[in-house]
């Protein structure tokens, strides 16, 4: 894989590729961004680009050096992860001792520290001393999902590289390429910006069942003499997992209501549940735009209530009543 193939983070890839081309690498980088945004993959590619024997300033992924880095057994590339809940001072001291030695196979030595925000205070202070006077040829790549938790003195000694959440369209394209149905791929890509999590969701039988329950609920809400509250109680008794996954259920509900609105305004290209277009078009006849906007507000309020530890079943029943009252 080359820098040009990092389509999910093109700005970051170009920044690092240009630094290599112009021999302007920083001694310490802070890769900051949400989970699943590709920070570790980019860090490993930067490391491979320093050692690759085939592509100057890039990584072929196939030479011995690249393959050893991928396998985690390159003598000049070290990855540190939390020991339990935190990165401890002994880990940083051992790393500093290793980094003080001469590199074995080239001018460079690279260390990657994952979840740098989970360092103990002692470990952070120890790392700071290294960042202030880095040995020649040593490059630090620090990864975090929460840069605000780091010492300002550490932040000031690193070049900050911000990673954006993965674009939903990119995630959906990846999932479709793996054979996942379009409706499942699009829905999962809207729920999470983490590719692995989106993959697990879209392949889950439970995710499909939850989506079907949501569609049935919306159908029943608009039925004359609706018995939807009894339907909810039935779902609750038969699906214990619904209690755990109610926030996910509500996310799917928001996407569905938005799709009904898109059908009404003729924006079919924007549908997430595009595999259910016929159902959406039928339901679009039963809702006014004002009702849809009100329903989406109710769903968001219900999510907030659940986050404040409201009873999930009561919150869902309240949601249905509020939507029906419109």
pLDDT in tens, 271-299: 999 999 999 999 999 899 999 999 999 99
Averaged over 253-267, what is the pLDDT? Answer: 95
- The CATH architecture one would assign to domain 204-325 is Up-down Bundle (1.20)
Which tens digits make up the pLDDT trace of 42-61?
Answer: 999 999 999 999 988 899 98
What pLDDT does 326 receive?
66
Judged by DSSP in three states, 98 sits in helix
Q: Under 8 Å CB-to-CB from 118, ≥6 apart: which residues?
A: 82, 85, 86, 87
pLDDT of residue 224: 66
| pLDDT value at residue 310 | 74
Is residue 138 exposed (0-12), middle (13-18) or buried (19+ Cβ within 10 Å)?
A: buried
The average pLDDT across 107-115 equals 91
Whether the per-residue pLDDT at 131 is higher than 70: the answer is yes
> Model's pTM, two decimal places?
0.79
What is the mean predicted confidence (pLDDT) over 176-187?
93
Domains 3-162 and 204-325 share a fold: no
| 88 has a pLDDT exceeding 90 | yes
Average pLDDT over residues 78-92: 92
Percentage of the chain exceeding pLDDT 90? 55
Report the pLDDT averaged over residues 255-276. Answer: 94
**Residue 104, pLDDT above cutoff 70:** no
What integer pLDDT is reported at residue 145 of this predicted model?
Answer: 94
Q: Across residues 125-138, what is the average pLDDT? A: 85
Which stretch, 24-38, 104-118, 128-142, has highest mean pLDDT?
24-38
- What confidence tens digit (pLDDT) does each residue in 208-244 have? 888 988 888 888 887 766 677 777 777 777 777 777 7
Determine the average pLDDT of the residues in 247-267: 94
The overall average pLDDT reported for the chain is: 89
Is the pLDDT assigned to residue 1 strictly greater than 70? Answer: no
CATH superfamily label, 3-162 = P-loop containing nucleotide triphosphate hydrolases (3.40.50.300)
Spell out the domain ranges in the chain.
Answer: 3-162, 204-325
How many Å is the Cα radius of gyration of the chain? Answer: 25
Torsion angle (degrees, nearest 10) of CA 217, 218, 219, 222: 110
Residue 252 — pLDDT band, cuts 50, 70, 90? very high
Q: In angstroms, rounded to a whole number, what is the distance separating the alpha carbons of residues 9 and 27?
A: 22
Question: What is the predicted pLDDT for the residue at 300?
Answer: 93
Show the beta-strand stretches assigned E in 178-305. Answer: none
Q: Angle between the 182-191 and 205-221 helix axes, to the nearest 10 degrees?
A: 90
């Amino acid at each position: 894989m080359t820098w040009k193939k990092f389509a999910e983070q093109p700005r970051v890839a170009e920044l690092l590729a240009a630094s290599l081309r112009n021999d302007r690498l920083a001694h310490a980088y802070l890769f900051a961004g949400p989970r699943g945004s590709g920070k570790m993959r980019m860090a490993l590619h930067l490391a491979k680009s320093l050692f690759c024997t085939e592509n100057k300033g890039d990584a072929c992924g196939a030479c011995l050096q690249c393959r050893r880095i991928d396998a985690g057994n390159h003598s000049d590339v070290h990855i540190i992860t939390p020991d339990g809940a935190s990165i401890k001072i002994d880990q940083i001291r051992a790393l500093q001792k290793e980094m003080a030695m001469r590199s074995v196979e080239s001018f460079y030595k690279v260390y990657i520290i994952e979840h740098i925000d989970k360092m103990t205070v002692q470990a952070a202070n120890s790392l700071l001393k290294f960042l202030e006077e880095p040995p020649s040829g040593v490059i630090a790549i620090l990864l975090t999902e929460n840069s605000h938790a780091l010492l300002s003195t550490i932040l000031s000694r690193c070049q900050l590289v911000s990673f954006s959440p993965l674009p939903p369209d990119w995630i959906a394209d990846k999932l479709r390429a793996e054979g996942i149905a379009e409706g499942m791929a699009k829905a999962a890509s809207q729920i999470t910006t983490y590719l692995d999590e989106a993959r697990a969701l879209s392949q889950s039988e439970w995710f499909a069942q939850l989506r079907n329950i949501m569609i049935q609920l919306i159908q029943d809400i608009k039925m004359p003499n609706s018995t939807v509250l009894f339907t909810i109680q039935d779902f609750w008794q038969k699906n214990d997992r619904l209690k755990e996954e109610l926030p996910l259920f509500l996310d799917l509900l928001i996407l569905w209501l938005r799709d009904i609105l898109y059908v009404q305004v003729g924006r079919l290209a924007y549908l997430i549940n595009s595999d259910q277009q016929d159902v959406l078009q039928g339901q679009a006849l039963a809702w006014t735009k004002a009702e849809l906007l009100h329903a989406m507000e109710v769903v968001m309020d219900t999510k907030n209530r659940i986050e404040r530890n409201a009873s999930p079943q009561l919150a869902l029943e309240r949601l249905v009543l509020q939507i029906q009252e419109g």
